[in-house]
Structure 1
């Protein structure tokens, strides 16, 4: 199923920058509207679905990877990257990531992986 417009979590404030998601017939794309690198992470629907499942279960999200650098700092940047070590990395902050996760837990992005 293809969703050509970017969607952000309803937990993001109106007009706020946030993680945005959209899909094509074969991929799901993530970006952060305020990321100065304009990176777009492209995942398969299966990989995106695994990320959603992991976030809903509060487990470490794999195969898509999320890193908090440094890990114990609440103000640390959050970096989201796909499987492997090469390719785009979407960078956001903890507040925007938490808003995205709340949207995930509310099922706001499930339609990106539903057949």
Structure 2
């Protein structure tokens, strides 16, 4: 997906990123979640469903 398809959302970095550009950014919309590389935001974004994103976060929370 292109970043323009997430124009209605705001790209955000995790507060755990330490302010560097070596993390991902996330844009939340009602029907999808965008994920992109903060080092190269113009390269495009992945799009996942809200349920897919919740599943991903559950896996991360297991650590």
TM-score, with normalisation over the residues of structure 2? 0.73
Unaligned runs of 5+ in 1: 59-115
Aligned residue pair count: 55
Alignment correspondent of 1:82: none
SS of the counterpart of 2:16? coil
How big is each residue's C-alpha offset from its partner over 1:26-76, in whole Å with a ceiling of 9 and x where there is no partner? 000100111377130100000000000011113xxxxxxxxxxxxxxxxxx
SS across alignment from 1:4: coil
Pick the structure with more helix per residue.
2
Question: Structure 1 36/5 Cα, relative in aligned 2: closer, same or farther at 3 Å?
Answer: closer
The 5-angstrom pairing of residues 96-115 of structure 1 reads none
Could you tell me how far apart the structure 2 residues matched to 1:25 and 1:33 are? Answer: 22
RMSD: 2.0
| Stretches (4+) displaced over 4 A | none
Stretches of structure 2 that go unaligned for 5 or more consecutive residues are 1-7
